[in-house]
Amino acid sequence: MLSRTALAMLTAAMLSGTAAAETFRWSSDTDPQTMDPHAVNSAPVLGFLNNVYEGLVRRDKGMAVEGALAERWEPIGKDGWRFHLRKGVTFHDGSKFNAEDVLFSYQRASSEAADTASWFAPVSEVKIVDDHTIDFLTTAPNPIFPDSIANFMILDKGWAEDNNAALPSKEEENFATLNANGTGAFKLVERQPGLKTVLEPHGGWWGTVEHNITRAEFTPIQNPATAVAALLSGDVDMINPVPVQDAAKLKQRDAVTVIEGIEARVIMLGFAHAAETLKYGADAGKPNPFRDARVRKAVAHSVNVDAILQTIMRGSATAESQLISPAMRGYSKDLSSRPAVDVGKARALLAEAGYADGFSFGLKCPNDRYLNDESVCQAVVSMLAKIGLKAELDAMPVRNYWPELRADNFDMYLLGWSPGTFDAEHPIRFLAHTPNKEKKLGSWNFGDFSNSRVDELLPQIQSEIDDSKRQAMLDESAKILQDEMAYVPLYVQPLIWGTRDNVDLTQRPDNFFILRWTTVK
């Protein structure tokens, strides 16, 4: 009798033990390329590192900005913001957080070596007031500045300097690409690029713990079928994304839940605007036809987005005509129609531009970054073939893709853009403004699109406080980008996550998976 009770107690203890100590496993198709929060400005990196590092401010479940390392902030005069820093915050290695770390992180993240420099384009100076107060001065009034730095993550000055990582490194490895020391709710305990990344809760975290995770393991799984199989078998507790083709079937399964939402990410085609000659295909070395807006328009008229959405995307995405989705602030409502699919018109435009017989060029495409990216590129290739454009497709994993784009190794490429600020100004700053290292603008404008009016509008948009005036300028800029066909926007990608039924989590619209909102039952 006694032993039976003991056994029951033991079982109960074991059961409760498993309930309290939870290892959470999740997977995504893209591995965050780096653990350095300033080295690559992409959602897989920033999304992952939001669990490890923190900014002055952060976004809550509904994307609204709330205090993180800054408790509160207020404008100082017209041209700046004062941040009052949280006291008693420690980094994962135990060192104290103070204003020095913020200043250092600002210098690091705005340096030329960083990929995040554009965030600080409006900043003229950063001044430490005292240990826990810091001022960000801007060149012009900037009402959205605190909103725009939610992903500006703070790292420890001493740690970075001691480990020879005072500057970020985009492509080569340094200490900070493989290690992390933030103030976030989770600390990095193991990093094997492309294989496995392990996080554990940070005991000294300042916030209130909502999760019940004791260890979290991230594994990138590139093959969509493998990811689905891993979720069904319980090898992982969550996958992002669920392959669009499997969503319908997965919804019928018992132990798993499909969570859908609309992502802010617009998938588009980009061009080499400045290159004198084509780089790939049979016509490599000949003058670059994409410098001519008529050729870019011909491309827009030849791509049948609806066909892509109905087949490859299974109806779970919506066509798009601008660089942002309608859900974003500052969307131009009157410019919402896409160029009609019209092979005849496309051919006429090509003939007008002097390319009646078409030409051959190279299309670069990632194969592990966006939903069905390679399939979409292949479909684009066959659609372009119908107007006589022969695209040579080169699809590659994203860790090779960004370096290729940065090195201008493309004639045409596929890009997805999600505005981190959820505002129409963001893509103009990153994708449309003439690349300018000094002003930290146009940092993802790989094709060097340049339009003087757009360049002129951007600072005015940034400092305009009146909503209708601001919208008028955003509309004007969106109109120019459409008329010039700087990019060919295709569609807004859906958000589809799959979880085991015993997992409770929050799907944030920017596709960031925040571990501290996750509980395992």
Partner 1 sequence: MEALSRAWRSDFSWSFRHSPVAIISLGVVLLLVLSALLAPWVAPHNPFDPASLNLMNGFTRPMEPNAFTQEIFWLGTDDQGRDVFSTILYGMRISLFVGFTAVLFALILGVTLGLIAGYAGGWTETTIMRVADVQLTFPAILVAMLIFGIAKGITPVDMRDEMAIWVLIIAIGLSDWVQFARVVRGATLVEKNKEYVQAARLIGRKPGAIMLRHILPNVMSPVLVIATISLALAIIAEATLSFLGVGAPPTQPSLGTLIRIGQGYLFSGEWWIILFPAITLLALALSVNLLGDWLRDALNPKLR
148's tokens: 């725009």
Q: With binding defined as CB under 8 A, does residue 386 bind partner 1?
A: yes
Residue selected from 281, 286, 479, 504 as contacting partner 1 according to rule CB under 8 A? 281
Q: With binding defined as CB under 8 A, does residue 277 bind partner 1?
A: no
Q: With binding defined as CB under 8 A, does residue 192 bind partner 1?
A: no
Work out how close the CB of 258 gets to partner 1 at its nearest, in angstroms, rounded to a whole number: 13
Residue selected from 166, 312, 341, 351 as contacting partner 1 according to rule CB under 8 A? 312
AA letter at 221: I
Nearer to partner 1, 9 or 248 (CB): 248
Work out how close the CB of 51 gets to partner 1 at its nearest, in angstroms, rounded to a whole number: 29
d(CA 491, CA 322): 9
Work out how close the CB of 186 gets to partner 1 at its nearest, in angstroms, rounded to a whole number: 31
d(CA 197, CA 178): 10
Q: With binding defined as CB under 8 A, does residue 9 bind partner 1?
A: no
Q: With binding defined as CB under 8 A, does residue 49 bind partner 1?
A: no
Q: Residue 137 burial by CB count (10 A; 0-12/13-18/19+): exposed, middle or buried?
A: middle
Q: With binding defined as CB under 8 A, does residue 249 bind partner 1?
A: yes
247's tokens: 């969503």
Cite the DSSP H helix spans in 180-243: 224-233
How long is the chain? 521
Residue selected from 134, 250, 398, 486 as contacting partner 1 according to rule CB under 8 A? 250
Q: With binding defined as CB under 8 A, does residue 408 bind partner 1?
A: no
Nearer to partner 1, 204 or 234 (CB): 234
Work out how close the CB of 378 gets to partner 1 at its nearest, in angstroms, rounded to a whole number: 5
Nearer to partner 1, 283 or 423 (CB): 283
Q: With binding defined as CB under 8 A, does residue 383 bind partner 1?
A: yes
Nearer to partner 1, 254 or 334 (CB): 254
> Pattern 446-475, binding to partner 1, x per CB under 8 A?
------------------------------
Strand, helix or coil at 444? coil
Cite the DSSP H helix spans in 428-509: 452-463, 467-484
C-beta of residue 198 within 8 angstroms of C-beta of residue 144:
no
311's tokens: 């087949």
> Pattern 59-98, binding to partner 1, x per CB under 8 A?
----------------------------------------
120's tokens: 């600080």
Neighbouring residues of 143: CB distance < 8 A, sequence distance ≥ 6: 463, 465
Bridge partner residues of 197 (DSSP): 191, 218
Strand arrangement of the beta sheet that strand 133-138 belongs to: 70-75, 80-85, 133-138, 123-130
Residue selected from 14, 225, 255, 465 as contacting partner 1 according to rule CB under 8 A? 225
Nearer to partner 1, 199 or 384 (CB): 384
Work out how close the CB of 411 gets to partner 1 at its nearest, in angstroms, rounded to a whole number: 11
Nearest to 388 by CA among 410, 412, 361: 361
Instruction: Give the residue carrying structure tokens 């997805």.
Output: 416
Cβ atoms within 10 Å, residue 443:
22
CA 338 to chain centre: 24
For residue 141, cis peptide bond before it (omega within 30 degrees of 0): no
Nearer to partner 1, 246 or 320 (CB): 246
Residue selected from 196, 279, 286, 345 as contacting partner 1 according to rule CB under 8 A? 279
Q: With binding defined as CB under 8 A, does residue 195 bind partner 1?
A: no
Interaxial angle between packed helices 293-302 and 343-352, expressed in degrees from 0 to 180 and rounded to the nearest 10: 170
Strand, helix or coil at 178? helix
Nearer to partner 1, 21 or 225 (CB): 225
Cβ density class 251-289: b for 16+ within 10 Å, e for less: eeeeebbbeeebbbbbbbbbbbbbbeebbbbebeeeebb
Instruction: Give the residue carrying structure tokens 């809550």.
Output: 60
408's tokens: 């201008």
Nearest to 37 by CA among 92, 110, 121: 110
Work out how close the CB of 511 gets to partner 1 at its nearest, in angstroms, rounded to a whole number: 21
412's tokens: 């045409």
Work out how close the CB of 367 gets to partner 1 at its nearest, in angstroms, rounded to a whole number: 8
Which of the stretches 260-268, 383-391, 442-450, 490-498 binds partner 1 when contact is defined by CB under 8 A?
A: 383-391
Q: With binding defined as CB under 8 A, does residue 379 bind partner 1?
A: yes
Residue selected from 392, 448, 476, 504 as contacting partner 1 according to rule CB under 8 A? 392
Q: With binding defined as CB under 8 A, does residue 284 bind partner 1?
A: yes
Q: With binding defined as CB under 8 A, does residue 7 bind partner 1?
A: no
Q: With binding defined as CB under 8 A, does residue 319 bind partner 1?
A: no
d(CA 31, CA 17): 31
Strand, helix or coil at 259? strand
Nearer to partner 1, 109 or 238 (CB): 238
Residues 346-375, interacting with partner 1 (CB under 8 A): 362, 372, 374-375
Which of the stretches 39-47, 73-81, 279-287, 417-425 binds partner 1 when contact is defined by CB under 8 A?
A: 279-287
Q: Residue 437 burial by CB count (10 A; 0-12/13-18/19+): exposed, middle or buried?
A: exposed
Work out how close the CB of 357 gets to partner 1 at its nearest, in angstroms, rounded to a whole number: 13
Give me the residues that bind partner 1 (CB under 8 A), please: 223-225, 228-229, 243, 245-246, 248-250, 279-281, 284, 304, 307-308, 310-312, 362, 372, 374-375, 378-379, 381-386, 391-395, 409
